[in-house]
Amino acid sequence: MFRPKGLSFSSFWKALFLAALLSFTAWSQDPTGEILGTIVDPSGAVISGATVTVTNTSTGVSRNLTSNSAGVYTAPALTPGIYSVRVAIKGFTSNIRNNIEVAVGQEVRTDFSLQVGDVNQSVEVNAVATALDTETTTIGTVIGEKSIEDLPLNGRNFLQLGELVPSGTTYGPANYIAQARGGGDRSQFQLNLAGQRFQYTHYLLDGIENTDPNFGTYLVLPSVDAIQEFNVETGTYSAEFGHNTTQMNVVTKSGTNNYHGSVFEFLRNTDMDAKNFFQLPSSPIEILKRNQFGFVLGGPVRIPGVINGHDKLFFLVNYEGQRQNKGNLAYGNTRCRSTSRAIFRATAR
């Protein structure tokens, strides 16, 4: 392998690893949200030139902005998560809003009314009520982390939660072409919204195309433990999506300043199953044994002597494998299938 002259072997591998990491960061264009608002004084007059600091509470990454001549500030391209916003200008007390939740594709309006006083004094609000979306005409539903983790799922497919969206159902006809040519779990799952055909659902994963062009199904399905949220948009969404009636915009979790993760294994078998209603009393129960296992690990990227990713660079790694034995008495045979999937995500300030 080519190595530049004068560069030690260990430094070469560190630099190579860092370059690969940054290439993943550039390749993955995260779906984002936005915080915006207007800053006024007690009389209602707009305040220009105020310093606005927007901070992600989980990563510590912050962004400094300045209100314009109309007193308006805008913080676009924010990774979905929980934020705090601080507004300060000489002659007025500082104002801080915490626990502002930004969902994927959401524009959150947070206005400020500053009081006359010392800039070193501050007014802090720790609870922010969920506001009505007055900035966009998008019709959609965000399925959050709590719903993904707490609601029951068959086979750990979080996309089934699309049924929580008005007019959503997973009981539509399956993709018989995908079943005949590809098979697997993707060919068995179909999400129908508002009576549309299953091919009209467009899947995005962290801003990357995740739709099978042949069958209209999803391509990659991360673990439930790696999903932060997803947004199901069914109408009047922005032109950035480009096509299809429904947009399934999925966001995976990001690493934080602390290392965190989980290891899991789920087992499903026939020990407590009843026989098929149409089976003979002497027939055995159809065989089913499914093992799903894997891990999720995230945190800051730290390479001694090269980079300290605290508040700057983070990673998330996810792997999930599945081993399944399934019998079908109608055909008198047993199928064995093993699948695995893995994702890697890097985010930078």
| Ranges for all domains in the chain classified under CATH 2.60.40.1120 | 33-125
pTM: 0.79
The CA distances from residue 236 to 208, 225, 284, 292, in Å, are 21, 31, 52, 38
Q: Can you name the CATH fold of 33-125?
A: Immunoglobulin-like (2.60.40)
pLDDT at 309 (0 to 100): 82
User: Which two tokens mark 154?
Assistant: 């068959």
Do residues 61 and 92 touch, judged by C-beta distance below 8 A? no
pLDDT at 43 (0 to 100): 94
Residues 6+ apart with CB under 8 A from 205: 220, 222, 250, 252
pLDDT at 279 (0 to 100): 76
CATH architecture of 139-348: Beta Complex (2.170)
User: Which two tokens mark 72?
Assistant: 């308006």
Q: Which of 346, 20, 55 is nearest to 206 (CA)?
A: 346
| Ranges for all domains in the chain classified under CATH 2.170.130.10 | 139-348
pLDDT by residue for the chain (349 residues), tens only, comes to: 444 444 454 554 554 455 444 444 434 445 789 999 999 999 999 999 999 999 999 899 999 999 999 999 999 989 899 999 999 999 999 999 999 999 988 899 999 999 999 878 888 888 665 656 777 778 888 999 999 989 999 889 999 999 898 888 887 777 777 777 766 777 778 788 877 877 788 899 988 899 888 888 888 899 999 999 999 988 887 777 767 888 899 999 988 899 999 999 999 998 888 887 777 777 778 888 899 999 999 999 988 887 888 888 899 999 999 888 877 666 554 445 556 666 666 665 5
Please give the backbone phi and psi of residue 118, each rounded to the nearest 5 degrees, phi first. -80, 135
CA dist., res. 146 & res. 128, Å (int): 19
Do residues 248 and 159 touch, judged by C-beta distance below 8 A? yes
